[in-house]
Amino acid sequence: MSECRRMSNKYLLFLVVCLLWLTGCGTKEDKRPDRPGQGAITISVDESFKPVIDEMVQVFESNKPGTKIKVLYKPEAECFKDLEVDSIRMIIATRRYNEYEKQFIVDSFNISPESLVVARDAITVIVNPKAPDSLFTMDDLRAILQGRFKKNLIPVFDGVKATSTVRFIIDSVLRGDSLTSKAVAARSSEGVIDYVSKTPDAIGFIGVSWIGNSEDPGQLSFLKKVRVAGIESSYKGIGFVKAYQQNIYTKSYPLVRDLVYTLKENYKGLGFGFAAFMSGDIGQLIFRRAYLVPQVLKNFGIRSVEVEEQ
Rounded distance between C-alpha atoms, residue 78 and residue 75, angstroms: 5
DSSP state letters, 193-210: HHHHHH-TTEEEEEEGGG
Domains by residue range for the chain, with CATH: 39-120+257-294 (3.40.190.10), 121-256 (3.40.190.10)
Is pLDDT above 90 for 276?
A: yes
- Give me the pLDDT at residue 26, please: 45
Is pLDDT above 50 for 168?
A: yes
- Give me the pLDDT at residue 301, please: 58
- Give me the pLDDT at residue 13, please: 54
Contacts of 2 (CB under 8 A, 6+ apart): none
Is pLDDT above 60 for 16?
A: no
- Give me the pLDDT at residue 49, please: 95
Beta bridge partners of 294: 119
Mean pLDDT of 265-283: 96
Q: What is the pLDDT of residues 250-261, one digit of tens each?
A: 999 999 999 999
Of 147, 152, 217, 205, the closest CA to residue 179 belongs to: 147
Is pLDDT above 90 for 127?
A: yes
Q: What is the pLDDT of residues 46-81, one digit of tens each?
A: 999 999 999 999 999 999 999 999 999 999 999 999
Q: What is the pLDDT of residues 97-119, one digit of tens each?
A: 999 999 999 999 999 999 999 99
- Give me the pLDDT at residue 308, please: 46
pTM: 0.83
CA 172 to chain centre: 18
Helix (H) or strand (E) holding 6: helix 2-30
